[in-house]
Amino acid sequence: MKKMTKIALSVATVGLIVAGCATSGGGNITSESLSLRKAPVHTENVIKLQKVTYIKAAPGQSKMFNRSFDNAPPLIPHSVEGFVPITKKNNACLGCHMPEVAKSMHATPIPKSHFINFRPTEVIAKDGKLIKKGKIVARANGTNDVFATPTHGKLYQGRFNCTQCHVAQSNAKPLVKNNFKPDYASEKEMKRSNLANTFDQGVDTSK
């Protein structure tokens, strides 16, 4: 009976919240007012996309922007014409950004985190026990740990699609003013990643 009463109270509370949202401000909330796009959420027919011009500079001839915050994926500081679409068998980015050639190409090297498998196939559970595991980088009650296994210099194929995280610089204007100011761990983190060295910060691996 107590359980049913709690459920009834919860439903009633939700109803009051919804009613409050619908009536506050003098009327119902329209779908057009729910987002910055100012258009009905159930159609794309009236959406006008913002005109954006992407950078035209060739690699090595443009200005690099600082990362948005520590270990944020950096913007691509050159044109990506002819580079996309990226596939496992055709990835022109590797020609300049692989660590062994990046310095000579004056390019940013792919960070160590891209040479780590966080879903290693060798982590096999048998009867609730792990047969083999890599370095623990995250822990959840000791049973759903996240492991890191180096790929020994080979790009982890879960990271092959560079444009999944990295986009080219553009003249896109923000829809709202951004007052965020990053607090970098050091000046190096403005242009470099140290994620592979900080994954396990604060993780208790003693248990």
User: Which residues, in sequence order, are bridge partners of residue 148?
Assistant: 135
Between strands 135-138 and 146-150, the pairing is antiparallel
Q: How many residues does the chain have?
A: 207
- Whether the Cβ atoms of residue 162 and residue 93 lie closer than 8 Å to each other: yes
Whether residue 195 lies inside any domain: the answer is yes
> In this prediction, what percent of the chain has a pLDDT beyond 90?
39
* Domains identified in the chain, total number: 2
Closest alpha carbon to 189 in 103, 85, 74, 76: 74
164 & 63 share domain = yes
166 & 80 share domain = yes
61 & 163 share domain = yes
pLDDT at 15: 47
67 & 6 share domain = no
User: Which residues, in sequence order, are bridge partners of residue 150?
Assistant: 116
Taking the C-alpha atoms of residue 194 and residue 167, their distance in angstroms, rounded to an integer, is 20
31 & 122 share domain = no
157 & 197 share domain = yes
Q: Is the peptide bond before 85 cis (omega within 30 degrees of 0)?
A: yes
**How do residues 34-76 score in pLDDT, each as one tens digit?**
778 778 778 888 888 888 899 999 988 888 899 999 999 999 9
**How do residues 149-174 score in pLDDT, each as one tens digit?**
888 899 999 999 999 999 999 988 88
Q: Which range of residues forms the domain containing residue 24?
A: 1-39
